[in-house]
Structures are given as C-alpha cells and as structure tokens.
C-alpha cells in the first residue's frame, strides 16, 4: 500500500486516498483530512458521527452506510448531508480514517 504524509506523519492509503490502517487515525489527522475535503472545523456533531463510524467499524468490520448511521447511530440523514455535504458516506469514511463504504461510487 502506498503511504503519504498527512498532518506531519506518514500514513498508509489506498488508490483513492482512504486510510488503510485503522490504528493510524487520530483526531489531529481527522482535522487535516476534513480540511482536505473542504470542512474547515470539526464540530461536536462531526465527532459524534466519526465516533459512531469508528466504533461500528471495530465491531462490524466494514464501514457503515448512511442507512446504518441513521438507524443504528440515530443521526438523521439530512444532518449527515449538512455536516458532510454532497457525498456524505464517502466523506464521513474518509475523515474517520475508514475504507470507503461498500457500494459507494
């Protein structure tokens, strides 16, 4: 897997720039990843989504879909589109340091 420097350290990524090593992620890295996609500041609402995604990934072994975030995480889809505009599933996974969700283009 290729590596790149983000937030002053080397991390493993796939061909689309998604982190491939779960343990390389931290909140400082998340801040930089968010900036890379046009989210200037991660709010408590962003962190609530990220925490759910990372915890769910650790339990399920795959990145949660929007539907799962809504039904299991209790976060309305409309809110996800506000927090992560245009392609929320892809952006949420990217900032959370997780693989792109299955079925996401």
**Catalytic sites, residue numbers:** 104
Phi/psi region, residue 90 (left: phi>0; alpha: psi -120 to 50; beta: rest), is alpha
User: CA gyration radius for the chain?
Assistant: 13
Secondary-structure breakdown of the chain: helix, strand, coil percentages, each rounded to the nearest 5 = 50, 10, 40
Q: Please give the Cα distance from 70 to 64 (Å, whole number).
A: 10
Dihedrals phi, psi of 45, to nearest 5 degrees: -65, -40
């Amino acid at each position: 897997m290729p590596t790149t420097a983000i937030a002053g350290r080397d991390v493993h990524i796939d061909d689309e720039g998604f982190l491939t090593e779960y343990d390389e992620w931290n909140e400082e890295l998340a801040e930089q990843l968010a900036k890379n996609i046009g989210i200037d500041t991660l709010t408590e609402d962003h962190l609530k989504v990220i925490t759910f995604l990372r915890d769910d990934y650790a339990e399920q072994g795959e990145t949660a879909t929007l539907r799962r975030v809504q039904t299991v995480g209790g976060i309305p889809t409309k809110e996800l589109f506000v927090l992560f505009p245009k392609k929320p599933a892809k952006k949420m996974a990217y900032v959370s340091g997780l693989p792109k969700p299955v079925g996401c283009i």
